[in-house]
Amino acid sequence: MRAVQVVGYHDKLQLNEIPDPEITGPLDVIVRIGGAGVCRTDLHILEGQWEAKSGVALPYTIGHENAGWVEAIGDAVTNVAVGDKVILHPLITCGLCRACRDGDDVHCENSKFPGIDTDGGYADYLKTTARSVVRIDDSLEPAAVAALADAGLTAYHAAAKVARMTRPGDTCVVIGAGGLGHIGIQVLSAISGVTIVVLDRNPDAVALAVEVGAHEGIVADGNHIEKVLALTDGKGAEAVLDFVGEGGATAEGVAMLRQAGNYFVVGYGENINVPTIDIISTEINFIGNLVGSYNDLTELMTLAAQGKVTLHTATYPLTDFQQALDDLDAGKVRGRAILIP
């Protein structure tokens, strides 16, 4: 089969021919890929940022946002059948550790992460397990929802925390209305009662944010902190949901947070530099968000089937993987880029 592989850090990806995956265990599932999301993490992988953390042997197949059709199953698989349309939870989990028993499988002690530390979905086929496949509604197509497997799941996981920790009428400032942000906005609109205020440097992204559910859209032009404070009677927002996490976004986000507010960190790239006395005196909280659980993904797929969460996508043939990555890096992708084998 064809597979787009990392052959060296700081090198370009290569399209190689490798053997098809095979069923070797009773819970194995092989999926024919219908769509693979192109994520900024893939750029970070090529930059070597994940080299020490993943420990993956090169070459390996990249791609961690995947959906498609079940091609083959092990003899103990009962939750899906050959031909089913599925989206893949990004982790392969054990089901036996304490976190998995708690339903917190994103923190599985024995997990594998296709596309990060084992072969992923920039390919014709991907091998995973029964614990990672979620059947999707007949109205949905794999290429249309693939990026919900990670970008959407991460956005849902964080937005669901915001919904649980806020009240109707509270304000949530969303920093960044790109690939993750526009999903998070839709989730907040669907499951919470917060007033959604969105910040982005790109006027088109701000317009899209308002189109998909934000109540206020503000272009980050240097006066955005004052505008947010004006909208909140000078007190700041009860929640800040930061999908950027770099370029000064965190300092600005803290400045827009009210006393006892919660700062939800999703994007990464810089340090949060806050004097500890400021954290104590205002009782603000910083909350990390890493992907989401299998149950989060099933709930997100329910919203997708109801038409409450949709992806803005740009599709590319698998052979045009480099163009997709280049367009993403250059900021030319509106929403999410999807590779289709």
Report, in this order, helix, strand and coil percent for the chain, each rounded to 5: 30, 25, 40
282 and 294 share one domain = no
Domain count, the chain: 2
Provide the pLDDT for residue 179.
Answer: 81
Look at the chain and count its residues: 341
Note whether 163 and 279 are same-domain residues: yes
Q: What CA dihedral angle connects 103, 92, 299 and 312, to 10 degrees?
A: 150
Question: Which tokens in the block code for residue 266?
Answer: 């999703």
The C-alpha atoms of residue 19 and residue 1 are separated, in whole angstroms, by 6
Q: Identify whether residues 301 and 325 lie together within a single domain.
A: yes
Nearest to 213 by CA among 242, 244, 188: 188
Query: Which residue is associated with the tokens 């693979």?
Result: 36
Residues 120 and 166 in one domain: no
Same domain? 278 vs 303 = no
Two structure tokens written together for 191 = 């499951």
The pLDDT score that the predictor gives to residue 40 is 86
Same structural domain for residues 331 and 206? no
Same domain, 138 and 186: no
DSSP string, 119-163: --SSBSEEEEEGGGEEE--TT--HHHHGGGGTHHHHHHHHHHHHH
Determine the pLDDT at residue 335.
Answer: 75
Q: How far is the C-alpha of 306 from the C-alpha of 325, rounded, in Å? A: 31
For residue 269, what is the domain's CATH number? 3.40.50.720
Residues 3 and 142 placed together within one structural domain of the fold: yes
* Contact indicator for 58, 49 with CB cutoff of 8 Å: no
Same domain, 105 and 210: no
User: pLDDT tens-digit profile of 285-310?
Assistant: 999 998 999 999 999 999 999 999 99
pLDDT of residue 256: 97
The whole-angstrom separation of Cα 259 and Cα 206 is 27
At 316 the pLDDT is 98
Say what the pLDDT of residue 234 is: 97
Look up the pTM and report it: 0.92
pLDDT in tens, 155-204: 999 999 999 999 999 999 999 998 889 999 999 999 999 999 999 999 98
Average pLDDT score over residue span 126-131: 97
The candidate with the shortest Cα–Cα distance to 175, out of 191, 193, 166, 162, is 162
Q: How far is CA 222 from CA 24, 45, 200, 218, in A?
A: 57, 32, 11, 11
Same domain, 159 and 144: no
Q: What span, in angstroms and rounded, lies between the C-alpha atoms of 70 and 32?
A: 6
Do 75 and 198 fall within a single domain? Answer: no
| Predicted local confidence at residue 257, as pLDDT | 98
For 261, the domain range is: 151-286
**What is residue 26's predicted lDDT score, i.e. its pLDDT?**
97
Task: Using alpha carbons, list the distances in angstroms from residue 9 to 14, 49, 50, 262, 323.
Answer: 12, 9, 10, 37, 18
- Concatenated DSSP letters for 254-294? HHTEEEEEEEEE---SS-----HHHHHHHT-EEEE--S--H
Domain CATH for 76: 3.90.180.10
Whole-Å CA distances, 15 to 317, 318, 335: 12, 9, 25
Q: Is residue 52 pLDDT above 90, yes or no?
A: no
For residues 216 and 294, what is the distance between their CA atoms, to the nearest angstrom? Answer: 32
**199: phi then psi, degrees, rounded to nearest 5:** -120, 135
Cis previous bond, 59, omega within 30: yes
**pLDDT attached to residue 133:** 98
* 156/80 same-domain check: no
